[in-house]
Structure 1
Amino acid sequence: MEKPVNNQDMNDAAAIGLPEEPSTAPDFPVFGETALAVPFDDLASFDPAATMNDGLDAVNDVPLTMQAVLGRARMTISELVQMRPGRVVELDRKVGEPVDIYVNDRLIARGEVVLIDKVLGVTLTEIVREED
C-alpha cells in the first residue's frame, strides 16, 4: 500500500515518482538563457495557397448551390397565376446594377452579367465580407 504524499514529501523526488537523476530530465534553457536556434526550411519555397488547399481536400467534392440574383419582385398569388408568356416582371434593380452572388443562400459577392459565346455568365466585381 502506498503512503499518502504530503507537502513535506513533495520536495522528495522519489516520493512523487520523479527520476532522481537530473540528467534524465529534458534540457530546458535556464531563465535568461537563449534557446538553441532551430534552422527553418527555406521560406522562399513556402506556398501558403498550397498549404490552405491541403486542408480543403476533404471538402472539395461537397456540392453547393450558387445563384446569381438579377433582382427581386413581390406579387400576390393571384398575380402569379395570371402570368402568361410575354409578361414583364419589374425587378427591384436598375439596368447596370451589380447582381448578387449567393452560395448556399449566403451573399458572398457581387458581379456584372456578361455574354460570352451566347452563354450568360457573371464577372465578379466585389467579394462581400461578413461584416458588410
Structure 2
Amino acid sequence: MSDELDTRHQLTPAHLPEEPAPVLSGETALPPRPSTPPTPDDLHAVFDVPVKVQAVLGRSKMDIGDLLRLKPGMVVELDRRVGEPVDIFVNNRIIARGEVVLIDATLGVTLTEIVRKEA
C-alpha cells in the first residue's frame, strides 16, 4: 500500500459545469419545458397523428370449436351487463368509460368518465 495522500475527491453538483449536454449526431436538442401547461393550440403538431380508438362492450372466452360453430344470429355472452359502461381504449390503453348511444343509424359512445393513470 502506498503512503501517498489520496488526492481524489468526489465532485458534487456545485462543482459541475452548467453547460448543456452535447448533442449527438442525428439528434436535436429539446427546447426547455414551458412553465405553464400546454393549451390545445400548443398541440397543433400532433393533431394529424393517427391513433386506434376502440370501444369495448365486453369480453368472452370460448374454445376454438365453439368459435368455429358461430353462425349469424347466435348470441355471444359477454362479461358485462346491460347498462354497464363500456371501456374506451386509445392505442390499447384505457383512457375513458362511457355509454353506448344510437344517433340516427350509427352507434356511438358518450364519455362519462376519464380514466386517470394511477401514479
DSSP 3-state at the match of 2:76: coil
Structure 2 unaligned spans of 5+:
1-35
Task: Give a deviation string over 1:40-93, Cα, whole Å, max 9, x none.
Answer: xxxxxxxx89x5234311111000000100000001111111111111000000
CA distance, structure 1, for counterparts of residue 68 and residue 104 of structure 2: 35
Counterpart pick for 1:96 among 83, 89, 100: 83
Cα distance in 1 for partners of 2:111, 2:41 equals 25
The two structures have a TM-score, normalised by structure 2, of 0.65
Q: Please give the alpha-carbon distance, in whole angstroms, between the structure 1 residues aligned to 2:92 and 2:64.
A: 23
Amino acid at match of 2:59: R
Is 1:115 the counterpart of 2:65? The answer is no
CA shift, 1:127, in A, is 0.3
**1:72 is the counterpart of 2:67:** no
2 CA distance for matches of 1:100 and 1:116?
Answer: 19
Name the larger-Rg structure.
1
Structure number with the higher helix fraction is 1
Q: Between 53-62 and 82-91, report the one with greater CA deviation.
A: 53-62
Count of equivalent residues = 84
Q: Deviations over 1:85-123 (max 9, x none)?
A: 111000000000000000000000000001111211110
Which whole-Å CA distance do the structure 2 matches of 1:86 and 1:100 have between them?
25
Percent identity for Structure 1 against Structure 2: 65
**Over 4 Å off, 4+ runs:** none
Structure 1 range deviating more: 53-62 or 122-131 = 53-62
The C-alpha deviation readout for 1:16-50, integer Å capped at 9, x for no partner, is: xxxxxxxxxxxxxxxxxxxxxxxxxxxxxxxx89x
Q: TM-score, normalised by structure 1?
A: 0.59
Asked if 1:52 corresponds to 2:35, the answer is no
Please, what is the CA RMSD of the aligned residues?
Answer: 1.8
